[in-house]
Amino acid sequence: MPTRYLFVEGVQALCYTGAVCERVFMELTRAEVIHITALCRVAMTDDELETMRSQLSDILGHFETLQELDVEGVAPTGHLGMSQTVLREDSPRPSLAREDVLANAPLREDNYFRVHAVLDE
């Protein structure tokens, strides 16, 4: 598990992820930020990475307040007002016209979206 540096009242301490810490300022590492960009597939310059590292650290530091609350036994809310899955009849109906859909394709070849090769030869 990756380590994170925590600053407690000005004293730098080492903490492991998942530990409950109160009133801490958390610093993301550059490696962690690179890992996130890889997960969400967004390219970034070195400058962007550093700005992101510092801003996300600041924001996440504010979120540590959530660790204060006792949520033992509380059910999570994922979606509001949906007590059950909504089903509809599986009846045929027209979908969007092919030309309308392909009209927005950035790269197109005949009736296909054109992309780079996905599979190796």
Partner 1 sequence: MSSDSLHNLTAHEAANLLGARQTSSEELTRAYLDRIQAVEDEVKAYVTVLDAGAMEQARQADRQLAAGEGGPLTGVPMQLKDNLTTSGVVTTCSSRMLKDFVPPYDATVVDRLRGAGAVFLGKGNMDEFAMGSSTENSAFFATHNPWGLDKVPGGSSGGPAAAVAASEATYSLGSDTGGSIRQPAALCGVVGLKPTYGLVSRYGLIAFASSLDQIGPMTKDVTDSALVLNAIAGHDPMDSTSAPQQATDYTEALVPDVKGMRLGVPKEYFVEGMDHRVTAAVEAAIASLEDMGASVDREVSLPTTPYALAVYYIIAPSEASANLARYDGVKFGYRAEDTQDIWEAMEHTRQQGFGAEVKRRIMLGTYALSAGYYDAYYLRAQKVRTLISQEFEQVFERYDALLAPTSPSVAFGLGEKMDDPMQMYLSDVCTIPANIAGIPGISVPCGFVDGLPVGLQVLGPHFGEQALFRVAYAYEQAHEWHSMRPNL
User: Cβ atoms within 10 A of the Cβ of 6, count?
Assistant: 19
Is 12 or 95 the residue whose CB approaches partner 1 more closely?
Answer: 95
Residue pair 37/57 in contact (Cβ under 8 Å)? The answer is no
Residue pair 7/24 in contact (Cβ under 8 Å)? The answer is yes
Nearest C-alpha neighbor of 32 from the set 4, 9, 51, 8: 4
Residues between 20 and 59 that touch partner 1 (CB under 8 A): 32-33, 35-37, 39-44, 48, 51-52, 55-56, 58-59
Does 14 bind partner 1 (CB under 8 A)? Our answer is no
- Positions in the binding site for partner 1 (CB under 8 A): 1-2, 17-18, 32-33, 35-37, 39-44, 48, 51-52, 55-56, 58-60, 62-63, 65-67, 69, 71, 74-82, 86, 88, 96-97, 100-101, 103-107, 113, 115-118
